[in-house]
Amino acid sequence: MRENFQPTVYLLASRRNGTLYIGVTSNLLQRIHQHREGTFGGFTRKHTVHRLVWFEQHATMEHAIIREKRLKKWERAWKLNLFEKDNPTWRDLAEDFGFPPLGEM
């Protein structure tokens, strides 16, 4: 059961220049699936925020939670700079893990 445990901070977008969401999880693939299926309700389901544009893995859940809380306080421009240097086209990184494409942005 612990084999999938990997504390991760992640950033989702609804589309290019759209709504952003920052979250933390111990199992990124499971969480992405939950967001896409709408089983992880709330903000991401309401605003259709499902595109994984950035993630960062941590050694402990405590470190991941601290990072998530800090990022949530950042200005939008800082968040964009964080992931656009490595993902300038806002490509859905979940496809690298075998998730189907979400369609056009």
Alpha-carbon Rg for the chain in angstroms: 13
Between 39 and 94, the higher pLDDT residue: 94
Closest CA to 31 of 44, 15, 14, 46: 44
pLDDT tens column, 18-29: 999 999 999 999
Can you give the pLDDT at residue 98? 95
pLDDT tens column, 58-79: 999 999 999 999 999 999 999 9
Closest CA to 92 of 9, 26, 10: 10
Can you give the pLDDT at residue 41? 74
d(CA 64, CA 45): 23
Mean pLDDT confidence for 25-37: 95
- What six digits make up the tokens of 45? 């389901």
The vertex-57 CA angle with 95 and 7, nearest 5°, equals 105
Can you give the pLDDT at residue 40? 74
Average pLDDT, the chain: 92
- Asked whether the beta carbons of 68 and 11 are under 8 A apart, the reply is no
Mean pLDDT confidence for 44-58: 95
